[in-house]
Amino acid sequence: MPLKIFGRKKKEKEEDKNMAEEEEREEEREEEHEIEPEEISIEFTENSLGIDLGTMNTVVARPMEEEFKIKQFPSVVAVKKGTNKVLAIGEEARKMLGRTPEDIIAVRPLRHGVIESVEYAKFIVQHAIEVGSDNDPSSIERVAVGVPGDATEVEREAIKEATAEVGISKDNVIVINEALAAAIGSGLPIAEPDGTMIVDAGAGSTDVAVISLGGITDQETMRIGGDDIDRNIVELVEEEYNVRIGIHEAEKAKIEVGMVFTETEDIEVKEIEVIGKDMTTNKPKQITIDSELVARAAEPVVQDIVRAINRILDRIPSELVSGIYENTVLVGGTSMMRGFRARIEEETDIPARLADDPLTVVAKGAAIVAAEPRTLEPEVRLRALR
């Protein structure tokens, strides 16, 4: 069954109205524009791939029959020092971060959502295509890669070059704003003129984007995210217990017991024990981290995100307010923190909803665009409105 992107909304509208009247209007519009109205439907072709090149995780989605086959791995490359010889990519390389012997370096090619090392990012893109195609890159014809809204031309070109190196022609590589991909992947009615909003709170960056008529009308990209929360946890623990914990431990504590301060949602306070280094004795020491400490660590990040949303609300025209009120979706791993959604609602008065699959929507949206690039064409979007 083809996946309908723009069809649903139109159908709903038709049911609400007098059919005969609608048909008459449809005919008038057809004459006016001389184009056949058409439901854009996507045949799920296995020869396309969507890639979300994230600071922390790379996610690959491949349309398979009626759903997506999802693969993901940490965006980390380990290479032999002084060479370009790749020793490991993904989980194995992630474990090496901060722990490598002298002759190995483990790198996260993306920092704060930006490609910091083009050379290493290429390895990630190529690995994504290999993993996503079940080790058969020649079976892939078209790839769409989600990048932050403010990605530079050099970064976009680097992604195209990397895919070209595994045999996919540059013309068949689409580089797409990841906020738009997230909106498409979470099924938001992006083609409508009413406006929708996406908040993508990731590891290294957070995007707030307003979309209307299928394009981005306003966007703020901030270089903050879950990574900063992890670092704040390390700092708070050291201040309070004089114990230094590793960043992996901090992240684990955040995921297992973390929360965001909220007044409207009752959140159970939990505790987790972690081991760090006592800075007085230099010996290992066990300490307890609770949800409240994580909430304090998350607070500066949450406040920045809230401020960005409110700045956008200050700027947007009133025509877009009701659409945003009805259709704001939170995506990205950081949005999964307990209380995050409630806090956004408290501070912005927008009843946001958390995406069903906050970690994979960008890749899925990109896969839809790869399967049907016309999704992005203005004529198609406008036609879908009718």
Ligand X SMILES: Nc1ncnc2c1ncn2[C@@H]1O[C@H](COP(=O)(O)OP(=O)(O)OP(=O)(O)O)[C@@H](O)[C@H]1O
333 binds Mg ion (CB under 5 A): no
For the record, the structure tokens of 48 come out as 């396309």
334 binds, among ligand X, Mg ion, none (CB under 5 to 8 A by kind): ligand X
Rg, C-alpha atoms of the chain: 23
251 binds ligand X (CB under 6 A): yes
Of the pair 320, 330, the CB lying nearest ligand X is at: 330
Site for ligand X in 209-228 (CB under 6 A): 225-227
- Applying CB under 6 A, among 195, 204, 276, 365 the residue interacting with ligand X is 204
What is the rounded distance in angstroms from the CA atom of residue 215 to the CA atom of residue 147? 15
Residue that is written with structure tokens 């300490």 in the block: 287
At residue 158, φ and ψ (nearest 5 deg) are -60, -40
Q: How far is CA 340 from CA 65, 187, 258, 309, 319, in A?
A: 34, 21, 10, 13, 27
Binding mask 348-367 for ligand X (x = CB under 6 A): -----------x--------
Kindly tell me the number of DSSP H helices and DSSP E strands found in the chain. Answer: 13, 20
339 binds ligand X (CB under 6 A): no
Residue that is written with structure tokens 């002759």 in the block: 103
228 binds, among Mg ion, ligand X, none (CB under 5 to 8 A by kind): none
Q: Beta 142-147 vs 173-177: how paired, if at all?
A: parallel
54 binds Mg ion (CB under 5 A): yes
Binding mask 186-215 for Mg ion (x = CB under 5 A): ----------------x-------------
Helices (H), the chain: 7-16, 19-33, 91-96, 118-132, 153-165, 178-185, 226-241, 247-257, 291-315, 321-326, 340-348, 361-371, 378-384
60 binds ligand X (CB under 6 A): no
Which residue in 138, 218, 211 sits closest to 180, CA to CA? 211
50 binds ligand X (CB under 6 A): no
**Smallest gap, in angstroms, from Cβ of residue 132 to Mg ion?**
17
Residue whose CB is nearest to Mg ion in the complex, by number: 202
339 binds Mg ion (CB under 5 A): no
Residue that is written with structure tokens 């290294």 in the block: 204
Rounded to the nearest angstrom, the gap between the alpha carbon of residue 102 and the centroid of all alpha carbons in its chain is 34
**Smallest gap, in angstroms, from Cβ of residue 271 to ligand X?**
16
With CB under 6 A as the rule, give the number of residues binding ligand X: 23
195 binds, among Mg ion, ligand X, none (CB under 5 to 8 A by kind): none
**Smallest gap, in angstroms, from Cβ of residue 101 to Mg ion?**
31
Is residue 261 a contact partner of residue 295, using CB atoms and an 8 Å limit? yes
* DSSP code for 338: B
Q: How far is CA 310 from CA 87, 103, 209, 326, 355, in A?
A: 45, 48, 12, 16, 21
What is the rounded distance in angstroms from the CA atom of residue 255 to the CA atom of residue 247? 12
**Smallest gap, in angstroms, from Cβ of residue 277 to Mg ion?**
31
Q: Which amino acid is at 212?
A: S
Site for Mg ion in 340-359 (CB under 5 A): none
129 binds, among Mg ion, ligand X, none (CB under 5 to 8 A by kind): none
Which residue in 138, 143, 146 sits closest to 58, CA to CA? 146
**Smallest gap, in angstroms, from Cβ of residue 78 to ligand X?**
18
**Smallest gap, in angstroms, from Cβ of residue 72 to Mg ion?**
11
359 binds, among ligand X, Mg ion, none (CB under 5 to 8 A by kind): ligand X
Span near ligand X by CB under 6 A; candidates 55-63, 79-87, 186-194, 368-376? 55-63
**Smallest gap, in angstroms, from Cβ of residue 178 to ligand X?**
7
Of the pair 74, 195, the CB lying nearest ligand X is at: 74
54 binds ligand X (CB under 6 A): yes
Report the interface residues with Mg ion, using CB under 5 A.
54, 202
Report the interface residues with ligand X, using CB under 6 A.
54-57, 110, 113, 202-205, 225-227, 251, 254-255, 258, 332-334, 336-337, 359
